Amino acid sequence: MRLAVIGGSFNPVHIGHLALADDVRCSLGYDRVMLIPAHSPPHKELSQGASSRDRLNMLNLAAEGVPWLSVEACELEREGVSWTIDTLEYLLGKYSDIEGRPALVIGDDLAAGFSRWRRAEDIARIAEIILARRPPDGPEPVFGVGGPPPFPFPFTRLENPPLPISSSAVRERIRTGKSWRYLVPDSVYRYIEGHVLYDCCKA
């Protein structure tokens, strides 16, 4: 099994996350793409509005019925800060059928700071790194016209369409009563409404 991993807060999971996962599968030929919700990301503070259990439930709903997509709750179960190296080592110990090195998918907006990640050299040694395009409204990406990115480790560049969707934008649209119905999977939409997450009011 060729495995690719996408981590994040998924607060909430949206169609941009799923489109990225599908692009990794289709463009790079991975058998399974695994979504891993962070308990406590080391580089940002989690926004309120949904519990860890809610985030996990929404991911499971989004992956339901998709044979190549799975969800791993190891970081939520481990608690504490969600260090990527700990998760990769856990996956290698748990899944004996991984073929070669697992792939770690990160946005190109995170590439410039990757060398400061905990045990970055070990991450690059045990995982294939895939750098995906992110929408231009976030931090300045390290990829640009006119030269290679300042990334010190071997990587694969994913030429995915950077959909202008973010979890923070979805939360804000929910909070302010703007349209958000088709930014998340239908099952996730129903979960958010049913559990009144992110200050969502039932219609």
- Confidence bin at 171 (pLDDT 50/70/90): very high
72: how many CB neighbours lie within 10 A of its CB?
A: 20
Are the C-beta atoms of 97 and 103 separated by less than 8 Å?
no
Are the C-beta atoms of 130 and 24 separated by less than 8 Å?
yes
pLDDT at residue 150, as a whole number: 73
Q: Give the Cα separation of 84 and 80 in Å (integer).
A: 12
pLDDT at residue 139, as a whole number: 46
Percent above pLDDT 90 for the chain: 80
Assess whether pLDDT exceeds 70 at residue 146.
no
Higher pLDDT, 203 or 77: 77
- Residues 87-101: pLDDT tens digits? 999 999 999 999 999
Domain boundaries, the chain: 3-163
Are the C-beta atoms of 154 and 111 separated by less than 8 Å?
no
Give the angle subtended at the CA of 22 by the CAs of 20 and 26, to the nearest 5°.
120
- Confidence bin at 176 (pLDDT 50/70/90): very high
- Confidence bin at 147 (pLDDT 50/70/90): very low
| Chosen CATH of 3-163 out of 3.40.50.150, 3.40.50.800, 3.20.20.80, 3.40.50.620 | 3.40.50.620
- Residues 27-74: pLDDT tens digits? 999 999 999 999 988 766 677 889 999 999 999 999 999 999 999 999
pTM: 0.90
Residue with tokens 């989690």: 46
